[in-house]
């Protein structure tokens, strides 16, 4: 065998594998190119296959056996080694060909190409993945690899394969290769450890996943499997089942998640209830919402939790809105969502909303109230139902009259503090009144009137226990038309009747769909389950096809219309409706059908010839329903396409609006500059006008002085002097006149230039600079 090299068959050959032992069969070196390849043919597939590789037989076309073995031979020959592959005996015979079994065996040397058939651009990535695996296993490492280095290597694998399903399949194929017949126990344990880490956060594809599950199951339950390997294989099998169902992680697992999984520890996070109490749960890289719900139910001893789930609660605290009650948004979480992804998204959302304070938290509450809930007597179930209904009532989601409001408030106070002989002497009494009486109801009468009414009702409850008061509170709300509803805030898209406001709150319970005006809270309409003929949802909308006459209580013939609303919770709305239809409507139909069948059997005069007609009628009805379903699906697709088109148009209009806003801002800036220049020019004109007035005054004085004249007695004596003086004066007057003419010309030129500049700007011509206006 070549120095330090172990080929695909070098460490085990054709024998079976138990996850960590080396076969004792004799081996002979195969030199140069004296071996044959075995492409997948019926004859090669009929050869003995190790049981752990039985799941790979249907995938034989996905592996590039011959191409891999040829590339390995070329790599060995280029390195100067004479023998790389080793034939192992299978029973009394010696196998002359190398197959998938040989390729999926441990090797110390790097691989020259991928194990699976992948595109050319992924081959180099596949080779790098195997380098990381070798390094993590500690092969050819001078020293023991540290925990920090292991975490870094695992993170590198996540980074390169989390978003690429082809590379994930290649990674798991390589890991299964390195765990088959590995001669070094420490290497084998590291390979299984890496398999466990990868399976915890990202599954392979469906077909590779089937092979991998079968392989891991075989190793985990093997009789001769090493104990440590067995534990890792069992853990890998468990997390593989969860990750195949949940899909890959959305975000790359954080460093602390990798570390806790490597060190067999757990991380912790807080889950809140609607009354602001909370519990701490443990999670790891592979924990999903369903896992967290199950764990939390065990902590609080909730035996019936199928209708409960985790919700993402978002609350924006911004100035005056920080103290408002009810501005939270509750988003239902998919059972397969990873807790690690949720917490990472919370952090990213907070970072994106730097201008506002965004509070994100996990909340545990009911998805919906089912008809079977009334028969549940679990104390924790009743308490959580009470807390949720109380929360919705205080928010104003259950509009009630004054009498019911006073009774409900008294019951809540009783549950909170029990019975007190003199309630008004209680320090907390006023705060309890304000807390348990919805604002919208409280403003309908004087505060003192509310106090007296509630006190009188409270004092009549002396004989009640807290459980009785809680059950009575639940019973009052349950009897309302819209009682026991779950609520969704939506925006109207399409309203054929035109009677609904822009924003609506939908309440869904076992009676149907109920519509509320959000501000102020006001009940509008209801549609019973039997009146909702079709419904569906997309990522951003939900629609109902309802009988309008019943819906709006109009005295006209019932007409089916489609109402469409914008919401990101469309799937939750449809699931709630579908669940109530299953709980309420289907039993009614079954009962009615069984009753009609009983009547038919009891009627002796019904002939046997009528039965085929009934069957034919039912078949015809089934066909009609099928056609209606197809039509509704087509309509839903059309609505979805139309919604996408409108969303695209809205996005384009938003971009155009932003561009116009920027252009307007630029125009305003230019107008400001023009106004500034105008003010400067006006100031300059005022200065020139002042100079002109001064020059005109001087001219007037000179002219008056010339026209005044002197006495005739000095004419002869001063004749010469007068002539000289007259010439000087005329010269001065001429100079002044010239200056005035120049100033007037410049003044007119300045005004004309300014007017021309403004005309040029507003006509889109070239801008005239300030220097061009200076004379």
pLDDT tens for each residue of 253-298: 999 999 999 999 999 999 999 999 999 999 999 999 999 999 999 9
Q: In what order do the strands lie in the sheet with 267-272?
A: 278-283, 267-272, 357-366, 308-317, 329-332
Show the tokens assigned to 740.
């005035």
Query: Mean of the pLDDT values across residues 665-685?
Result: 88
Band (644; pLDDT cuts 50, 70, 90)? confident
The 10 Å Cβ neighbour count of residue 174 is 24
Is residue 522 within 8 Å of 399, Cβ to Cβ? Answer: yes
Distance CA 240, CA 234 (A): 10
pLDDT at 244 exceeding the cut of 50? yes
182: left (phi > 0), else alpha (psi -120 to 50), else beta? beta
Residue-by-residue DSSP string for 246-288? H-S-SSPPPHHHHHHHHTT--EEEEEE-TTS-EEEEEE-TT-B
pLDDT at 443 exceeding the cut of 80? yes
Strand-pair partners of 542? 537, 565
Residue whose token pair is 């394969």 = 161
Percent of the chain residues topping a pLDDT of 90:
43
pLDDT of residue 413: 93
pLDDT of residue 773: 39
Which helix (H) or strand (E) covers residue 627, if one does?
helix 610-708
pLDDT of residue 766: 43
Query: Mean of the pLDDT values across residues 442-468?
Result: 91
Buried b (16+ CB within 10 A) or exposed e, 598-613: eeeeeeeeeeeeeeee
**What mean pLDDT value characterizes the chain?**
79
pLDDT at 152 exceeding the cut of 50? yes
pLDDT at 692 exceeding the cut of 70? yes
Query: Mean of the pLDDT values across residues 31-39?
Result: 38
Task: Convert the pLDDT of each residue in 193-229 to its tens digit.
Answer: 999 999 999 999 999 999 999 999 999 999 889 999 9
Band (658; pLDDT cuts 50, 70, 90)? confident
Choice between 311 and 86, residue whose per-residue pLDDT is larger: 311
CA distances from 338 to 121, 198, 252, 763 (A): 31, 15, 11, 62
Band (549; pLDDT cuts 50, 70, 90)? low
DSSP secondary structure code for residue 584 in this structure: I
pLDDT of residue 316: 73
Q: Which of helix, strand or coil describes residue 457?
A: helix
Nearest to 133 by CA among 82, 90, 173: 173
Which residues, in sequence order, are CB contacts of 531 under 8 Å at separation 6+?
A: 512, 546, 547, 550, 551
CA distances from 93 to 30, 47, 90 (A): 16, 12, 6
Task: Convert the pLDDT of each residue in 719-751 to its tens digit.
Answer: 444 455 445 544 544 554 555 555 555 554 555
Nearest-10 crossing angle of helices 185-201, 227-246: 20
Residue-by-residue DSSP string for 69-109? HHHHHHHHHHTT-SEEEEEEEETTEE--EE-HHHHTS--SS
pLDDT of residue 622: 61
Among 194-198, 349-353, 583-587, 726-730, the range of highest mean pLDDT:
194-198
Nearest-10 crossing angle of helices 610-708, 719-762: 180
pLDDT of residue 129: 95
pLDDT at 614 exceeding the cut of 60? no
Length of the chain: 775
For strand 522-528 and strand 532-537, is the pairing parallel, antiparallel, or unpaired?
unpaired
pLDDT at 651 exceeding the cut of 60? yes
pLDDT of residue 619: 60
Q: Which of helix, strand or coil describes residue 242?
A: helix
> How remote is the C-alpha of 166 from its chain's centroid?
25
Which residues, in sequence order, are CB contacts of 581 under 8 Å at separation 6+?
A: 529
pLDDT of residue 422: 85
Which residues, in sequence order, are CB contacts of 727 under 8 Å at separation 6+?
A: none
pLDDT at 250 exceeding the cut of 70? yes
Task: Convert the pLDDT of each residue in 81-124 to its tens digit.
Answer: 544 444 343 443 444 566 788 889 999 999 999 999 999 999 99
CA distances from 54 to 37, 38, 67, 68, 595 (A): 20, 17, 22, 20, 54
pLDDT of residue 80: 64
pTM higher than 0.75 = no
Q: What distance separates the 2 farthest-apart alpha carbons in the chain?
A: 165
pLDDT of residue 521: 84
Among 358-367, 587-596, 659-668, the range of highest mean pLDDT:
358-367
Which residues, in sequence order, are CB contacts of 720 under 8 Å at separation 6+?
A: none
């Amino acid at each position: 065998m070549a120095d330090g090299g172990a080929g695909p068959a070098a460490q085990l050959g054709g024998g079976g594998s138990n996850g960590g032992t080396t076969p004792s069969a004799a081996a002979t070196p195969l030199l140069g190119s004296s071996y044959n390849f075995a492409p997948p043919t019926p004859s090669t597939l009929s050869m003995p296959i190790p049981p752990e590789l039985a799941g790979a037989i249907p995938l034989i076309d996905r592996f590039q056996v011959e191409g891999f073995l040829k590339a390995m031979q070329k790599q060995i020959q280029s390195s100067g080694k004479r023998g790389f592959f080793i034939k192992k005996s299978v029973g009394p015979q010696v196998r002359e060909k190398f197959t998938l079994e040989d390729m999926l065996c441990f090797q110390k040397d790097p691989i020259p190409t991928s194990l699976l058939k992948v595109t050319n651009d992924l081959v180099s990535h596949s080779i790098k993945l195997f380098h990381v695996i070798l390094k993590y296993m500690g092969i050819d490492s001078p020293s023991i690899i540290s925990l920090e280095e292991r975490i870094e290597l695992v993170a590198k694998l996540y980074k390169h394969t989390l978003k690429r399903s082809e590379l994930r399949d290649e990674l798991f194929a390589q890991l299964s290769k390195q765990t088959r017949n590995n001669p070094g126990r420490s290497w084998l344990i590291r390979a299984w450890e890496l398999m466990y880490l990868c399976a915890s956060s990202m599954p392979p594809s469906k077909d590779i996943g089937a092979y991998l599950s079968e392989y891991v199951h075989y190793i985990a339950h093997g009789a001769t499997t090493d104990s440590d390997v067995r534990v890792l294989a069992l853990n890998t099998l468990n997390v593989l089942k969860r990750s195949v169902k949940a899909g890959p992680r959305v975000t790359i697992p954080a460093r602390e998640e990798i570390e806790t999984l490597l060190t067999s520890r757990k991380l912790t996070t807080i889950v809140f209830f609607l009354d602001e109490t909370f519990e701490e749960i443990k999670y790891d890289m592979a924990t999903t919402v369903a896992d967290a719900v199950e764990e939390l139910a065990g902590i609080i001893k909730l035996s019936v939790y199928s209708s409960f789930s985790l919700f993402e609660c978002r609350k924006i605290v911004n100035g005056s809105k920080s103290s408002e009650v009810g501005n939270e948004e509750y988003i239902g979480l998919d059972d397969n969502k990873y807790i690690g992804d949720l917490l990472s998204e919370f952090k990213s959302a907070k970072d994106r909303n730097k201008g506002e304070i965004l509070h994100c938290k996990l909340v545990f509450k009911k998805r919906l109230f089912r008809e079977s809930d009334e028969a549940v007597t679990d104390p924790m179930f009743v308490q959580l139902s009470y807390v949720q209904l109380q929360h919705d009532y205080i928010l104003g989601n259950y509009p009630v009259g004054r009498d019911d409001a006073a009774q409900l408030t008294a019951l809540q106070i009783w549950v909170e503090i029990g019975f007190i002989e003199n309630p008004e002497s209680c320090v907390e009494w006023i705060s309890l009144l304000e807390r348990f009486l919805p604002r919208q109801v409280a403003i309908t009468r004087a505060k003192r009137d509310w106090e007296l009414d509630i006190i009188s009702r409270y004092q009549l409850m002396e004989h009640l226990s807290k459980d009785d008061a809680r059950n009575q509170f639940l019973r009052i709300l349950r009897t309302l038309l819209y009682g026991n509803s779950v609520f969704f805030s939506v925006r109207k898209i399409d309203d054929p009747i035109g009677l609904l406001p822009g924003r609506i709150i939908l309440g869904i319970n076992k009676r149907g769909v109920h519509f509320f005006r959000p501000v102020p809270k006001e009940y509008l309409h209801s549609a019973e389950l039997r009146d909702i003929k079709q419904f569906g949802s997309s990522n951003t909308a939900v629609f109902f096809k309802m009988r309008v006459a019943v819906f709006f209580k109009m005295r006209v013939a019932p007409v089916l219309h489609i109402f469409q609303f914008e919401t990101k919770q469309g799937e939750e709305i449809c699931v709630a409706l579908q669940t109530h239809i299953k709980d309420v409507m289907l039993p009614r139909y079954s009962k009615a059908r069984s009753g009609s069948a009983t009547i038919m059997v009891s009627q002796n005069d019904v002939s046997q010839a009528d039965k085929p007609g009934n069957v034919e009628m039912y078949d015809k009805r089934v066909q009609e329903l099928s056609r209606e379903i197809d039509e509704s699906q087509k309509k839903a697709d059309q609505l979805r396409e139309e919604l996408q088109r409108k969303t695209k148009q809205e996005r384009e209009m938003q971009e155009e609006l932003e561009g116009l806003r920027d252009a307007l801002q630029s125009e305003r800036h230019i107008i400001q500059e023009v106004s500034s220049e105008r003010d400067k020019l006006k100031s300059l004109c005022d200065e020139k006008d002042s100079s002109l007035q001064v020059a005109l005054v001087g001219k007037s004085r000179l002219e008056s002085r010339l026209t005044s004249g002197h006495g005739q007695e000095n004419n002869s004596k001063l004749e010469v002097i007068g002539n000289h003086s007259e010439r000087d004066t005329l010269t001065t007057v001429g100079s002044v006149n010239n200056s005035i003419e120049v100033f007037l010309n410049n003044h007119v030129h300045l005004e004309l230039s300014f007017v021309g500049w403004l005309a040029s700007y507003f006509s889109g011509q070239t801008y005239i600079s300030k220097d061009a206006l200076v004379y």
